[in-house]
Amino acid sequence: LKDNPPHYKIRLSGTVKSPKINFDPPFVMLMPVPLDVKTETAISIIPQDYLRQSRLQVILPELEFEDGERICPLTVQFTGGQDIVLSSDGTNKELICHISFRSSRPLSFLRNVFFIDEEQN
């Protein structure tokens, strides 16, 4: 044994959890309103598996009319801030987001609103 020291093998296994966010409701349909009248709805953003604080950014769609005018008719406001925070029990706190629409020109559209964390997820 002195010439052949013992060798130990250790096998490790694990699961990598990537941070993600879910939405409730998963999609939004805002009601038709008269021109220059705001319509709004609230959504819950449910972060999962974030191990450290992160801040959400929002990318809103820009629309172009036939005459070349470009507008962004959507706005987003976070009522409690847009930081994903790890609570004391190890879960991430839910965020509330208000999405509103207003336009001085008639339009209807279907677009994505992107929520991106600091690591571009």
Tokens encoding 43: 């959504």
Amino acid at 115: F
Q: Evaluate whether 92 touches 47 at the Cβ level (below 8 Å).
A: yes
DSSP code string of 48-101: ES--S-EE-EEE---EE-TTS-EE--EEEEETT-SEE-B-TTSPBPPEEEEEEE
Amino acid at 37: V
pTM, rounded to two decimals:
0.78
Q: Evaluate whether 31 touches 85 at the Cβ level (below 8 Å).
A: no
pLDDT score for 90: 80
pLDDT in tens, the chain (121 residues): 566 667 778 888 888 888 999 999 999 999 999 999 999 999 999 999 898 889 999 999 999 999 999 999 999 999 999 999 888 888 899 999 999 999 999 999 999 999 999 888 8
Q: Where are the domains of the chain?
A: 33-116
Nearest to 113 by CA among 18, 19, 17, 30: 30
Name the one residue in this structure whose structure tokens are 């790890």: 86
